[in-house]
Structure formats: structure tokens, C-alpha cells
Amino acid sequence: MLTAEDKKLIQQMWGKLGGAEEEIGADALNRMSHSYPPTKTYFPHFDLSPGSDQIRGHGKKVVAALTTAIKNIDNLSQALSELSNLHAYNLRVDPVNFKFLSQCLQVSLATRLGKDYSPDVHSAVDKFMSAVASVLAEKYR
Ligand code: HEM
């Protein structure tokens, strides 16, 4: 459960990204395809080489969705409803993969933010990404 303090930490941390959102999204996707190669099967139509236009473009979309989620942190189900439909019904992404992207995003954030990615922020982001993942997976039942 995200506490009020967790939400504050996430919002503050996100505010420190200062224009690096696209880069962070692309880095997270790049790490995901590298560290968890089976995730590549969902992107047969992508050029997955690091820094490709498709990785960058997609990274930007993923981070924009997370920005929306952070703005609507008390109402994630509604905010991510369309995305949840897409991942469950159209893309059929196995929910196990959400954890992989979450791990990779955390490494990207930590690399970028250094000391600002404190254990408290880490814990808050971990909870937030679990909440996002459960919304994205909730239509599978
Ligand atoms: C598409 C967000 C996890 C596979 C998208 C889009 C967004 C998004 C915003 C674009 C939707 C659009 O164009 O309307 C997220 C978020 C995730 C997540 C926030 C979790 C935190 C994953 C995972 C996979 C995946 C784990 C697979 C390993 C895809 C694919 C597309 C897509 C294949 C379509 C790409 C394309 O053809 O352009 N996702 N995603 N997603 N996502 Fe996710």
C-alpha cells in the first residue's frame, strides 16, 4: 500500500528527472531486452539496438504513461484503463514481464539520480510499480 509519504517521494523524484524522461524510458527498455531476452518476443517489429528510434519513441510513451499514473496516483485503475485493455487483450503481455520492466526502470532511475535514489525512494517506486503492474494485469482474469 502506498503511503502519503511514498506518494510524495515519488512525485518529488519524478520532478527531478528534468527532461531526461525519454532517455530513462529508452534505457529501461534497453535493459529489459538485454537482461530478460524473452521480452524481445513482444517486439518483433522493433529495431531493438540501443538508442534506436523505436526504442526511444517507445521509451517516451512508457514514461509518459507513468507520468499520467503519478498524477493520478489515487486512481490508477481509471487512469490506466486503456493501457490495461491494450496489454491484456491486444498485446497479451504475460504479467510476469511487468516485474522485469519495473526492475529495469529502477536501475535506470538509480543510475540517473545517484544518491537521490535513496532506499526510501526505492521502496516507494517499487510499491508504485507493483501497483501499476497490478492495474495493467487486472483485465486478465
Ligand atoms: C505499448 C506502457 C509494460 C509490451 C505500450 C504503450 C504504452 C505502454 C504507453 C503505447 C500505447 C499506445 O501506443 O497507445 C507500458 C507500461 C508498462 C508496460 C507503463 C509497465 C510499467 C510492458 C511490458 C511489455 C510491453 C512488460 C512486454 C515485455 C508492449 C508492446 C507495445 C506496448 C509490445 C506495443 C508497441 C508498439 O507496437 O508500438 N506500453 N507498458 N509493455 N507495450 Fe507496454
Domain extent listing, the chain: 4-140
pLDDT of residue 64: 96
Quick one: which atom of ligand 1 is closest to the CA of 82?
14
Measured CA to CA, the distance from residue 15 to residue 72 in angstroms comes to 15
Under 8 Å between Cβ of 109 and 23: no
pLDDT of residue 81: 96
Q: Give 4 Cα–ligand 1 centroid separation in angstroms.
A: 28
Q: For residue 54, with 0-12 CB atoms within 10 Å meaning exposed, 13-18 middle and 19 or more buried, which class applies?
A: middle
For the CA of 36, the closest atom of ligand 1 is: 28
The rounded distance, in Å, linking the Cα atoms of 59 and 35 is 16
Which tens digits make up the pLDDT trace of 77-86?
999 999 999 9
- Quick one: pLDDT at residue 104? 98
pTM of this structure: 0.95
Per-residue confidence (pLDDT) for residue 141, from 0 to 100: 65
Instruction: Give the residue from 32, 33, 16 showing the smallest Cα distance to 109.
Output: 16
| Residue 92 falls in which region: left (phi positive, over 0), alpha (psi -120 to 50) or beta | left
> How far is the centre of ligand 1, averaged over its atoms, from the C-alpha of 29 (Å)?
10
> What rounded mean pLDDT belongs to the chain?
95
**According to the CATH classification, is domain 4-140 in 3.30.70.20?**
no
Write down the pLDDT at residue 18: 86
| Cα-Cα-Cα-Cα dihedral sign, residues 124, 133, 73, 27 | positive
> Which residue's CA lies nearest to atom 5 of ligand 1?
62
For ligand 1, residues with CB inside 6 Å are 39, 42-43, 58, 61-62, 65-66, 83, 86-87, 91, 93, 97-98, 101, 132, 136
Q: Which atom of ligand 1 is nearest to the CA of 65?
A: 9
With CA atoms as reference, report the closest residue to 129 among 107, 93, 101. 101
Number of neighbouring beta carbons within 10 Å of residue 108: 23
Residue ranges in the chain modelled with pLDDT below 70: 141
Q: Is ipTM beyond 0.90?
A: yes
Residue nearest to atom 31 of ligand 1 (CA): 91
